[in-house]
Amino acid sequence: MSPIDPAALAGWDPRAAVMELGGATMGTRWRVRFAAPLRLDLAALTRAIEAMLDGIVAEVSHWVPESLLSRFNKSPVGRWMALPPDFATVMAAALELAATTDGAFDPAVGALADLWGYGPTPRVGTPDEAAIAGVVAAGGWRQLHFDPAARRLQRLSDVQLDLSGIAKGHAVDRLAAVLAAHDIRHGLVEIGGEFVGFGMRPDGDPWWVELETPGMVATPIRVALHQLAVATSGDYVRGRHTIDPRKGRPVEHALAVSVVHRSAMLADGWATALGVVAPDEMIALAKARGLMVRALIRQRDGVREWISPALASLIED
C-alpha cells in the first residue's frame, strides 16, 4: 500500500458530522461529502460552489451558445481572445497533453464532434468521408496559438474548440479548492463520476471510490482517495462518442479507462487520451508516464482488463 500523506490527517476530528450537498452542473450532477468544521457557513459554502461552477460553464461549455468558448469558435480567424484564469489553466493543460500524445487528445476536436452528432446539434447517420477528411486535414490543435504569459488564444484556421475531455476534471479540482477555502480538510467531491478525495472520514476510514466497471466484465476495484483524483472515460453510458482526432472516427476498443492522479483535470485528460490510442500504445504510454490506469479493452474474444504497474502498487495488499 502507498503511505498515507500526512496532510490527510491534518485537522482530523472523529466527532465531526458528515454533511452532503449536491446539485446540477455540466449536464450532470455535482456532489460533496465532507467532515464539517465547527464554524461553517453552509449557505456561503453553497453559494461559493454554485458561483464557481456557473463561472466555469460560462467560460468553457460548448453547449452554451453564449459561453466564452462558443464565442471564440465564432470569432474571426486570427483574432486574439483574452482568457480568464480557469479557461487559461484548462487550455494550457489541454495543449500540453495534445503535444505529449501527438494529438490523441485534441482540444480542437469540436468540428468532428459536431460532424458525428456529439455536439449541441444532434445529427443522424454516418458523416460523409470527404467531410471527415476535410476536418482532419484542417489541423486540429496545431492551429491554436496560445500565449500563456498574456493568457490569450487565437485560431490560425477555422478549427473549433471542445474542452469536454478535460474541463469537468478541472471543475472537480476547483470544487475541492472551494471546500478547502472554507476550512474543510476532509471530504470527497464528485462531478458526473469524477472524484477528488482528501483527508479522512471521521470514522477513520479513507474516502473509498469504486472504479467504474460496466456490467460484470471485471472484478470491481476500490481505491482510497488520499489526496488523489480519479476519472473514467468510456462508451458504456453514451455510446461510442470518443473520437480519435487523428482519424476523425469514434474509437471502438475502449469500454472504460480509469486514471488515478493527483489532479482531476489531468486524470480526465489522460483518461480521454488513453481511450483513443490503440491498446498497445496505451499500455506503453501509461507505463512510460508512470500513470495509474485500469483499462477495459474490447477484443474479439471479449473484454480484457489491464492494470498498470503504478495502479497495481497502489491497490495491492
CATH number at residue 268: 3.10.520.10
Closest CA to 45 of 20, 26, 25: 20
Q: What is the model's pTM? A: 0.93
Any idea what DSSP says for residue 210? E
Residue 181 domain-assigned (yes or no): no
> Looking at residues 216-223, what average pLDDT do you find?
86
- Please give the residue range of the domain that contains residue 273: 6-27+191-315
Measured between alpha carbons, how far is 94 from 141 in angstroms, rounded to an integer? Answer: 9
Residue 57 domain-assigned (yes or no): no
Query: How far is residue 128 CA from its own chain's centroid?
Result: 30
- Percent of the chain clearing pLDDT 70 (strictly above): 95
CA atoms within 13 A on the CB side of 209: 26
**268 annotated to a ligand binding site:** yes
**199 annotated to a ligand binding site:** no
Number of domains within the chain: 1
Residue 159 domain-assigned (yes or no): no
Local confidence band at 117 (pLDDT 50, 70, 90 cut-offs): confident
> Looking at residues 61-75, what average pLDDT do you find?
96
Q: Cell triple for residue 104?
A: 490523441
**5 annotated to a ligand binding site:** no
Q: Is 12 exposed, middle or buried (0-12, 13-18, 19+ CB in 10 A)?
A: middle
Quick one: pLDDT at residue 212?
Answer: 83
Any idea what DSSP says for residue 16? P
Q: Is 185 exposed, middle or buried (0-12, 13-18, 19+ CB in 10 A)?
A: buried
Kindly report which listed range (37-41, 224-228, 313-317) carries the lowest average pLDDT score: 313-317
Quick one: pLDDT at residue 302?
Answer: 86
